[in-house]
Chains A and B, each alone.
Chain A
């Protein structure tokens, strides 16, 4: 069964450093998303991406964040200058069906020191 893969599984970084989280969505999906989950809190929507552009973003997704789909397979989330409060689990998801059900990766845990 096809699955969404995310790398790295865990990244530790210093405050102020740039981080890139990578995702390989399921190949026939058309819509792509990033979510995050701070430990013990809800899963929060960050951004959705369709047809090579952002279709929706949340208030969390400020100028420090960017997304890219540089080729036909990868979907990346970049955090330009990490803050302590960016420490969280980041989930990539994709959707291809007409009903919009999401398929998530296993997540990338980001720890900012």
Chain B
């Protein structure tokens, strides 16, 4: 699976959009970008995934650059409950293992 690079931590004001970047310059054509988050020590939570088109669901939007070498997860109106570690993972689809890196620790401040 391709390696990803994320900032160690970020801050965001409550009510503002949180934009979390991820670099994955070695991504292969059949690899998807997945995002998960982990709030405190709860189990990781799936957020969204995409291949090359931008994706949106009730939790977030995923913007993938045209060359697919980087992506941004957008939480449109961050709340205090969005404070968590966010993981960007690149992998092929199917039942293969998912490997978690260190992620980005997002602090949403009032």
Binding site for B on A (CB under 8 A): 4, 30-31, 33, 35, 37, 42-45, 48, 50, 55-56, 58, 89, 91, 93, 95, 98-107
Contact = CB atoms under 8 A, between A and B. Distances in A.
A42 B100 CA distance: 7
A103 B41 contact: no
Question: Would you call the interface of chain B mostly helix, strand, loop, or mixed?
Answer: loop
Contacts of B102: 42
Interface of B: 32, 34, 36, 38, 41-46, 49, 87, 91, 93-102
Contacts of A30: 95
* List of 7 A-B pairs having minimum Cβ-Cβ separation, nearest first: A104-B43, A31-B95, A43-B100, A101-B46, A99-B93, A91-B43, A45-B97
Given A42-B100, A42-B101, A42-B102, A100 B41 contact: no
Given A50-B95, A98-B93, A99-B32, A93 B43 contact: yes
B97 A48 contact: yes
B34 A107 contact: no
Given A48-B95, A89-B41, A107-B42, 5 more contacts: A4-B43, A30-B95, A43-B87, A93-B44, A106-B43
Contacts of B49: 99, 101
A39 to B, nearest CB: 8
A105 B43 CA distance: 6
Contacts of A103: 46
23 contacts: A31-B95, A33-B97, A33-B98, A42-B100, A43-B38, A43-B44, A45-B97, A48-B96, A48-B97, A56-B97, A91-B43, A93-B43, A93-B44, A98-B93, A100-B96, A100-B98, A101-B34, A101-B46, A102-B46, A103-B46, A104-B43, A107-B41, A107-B42
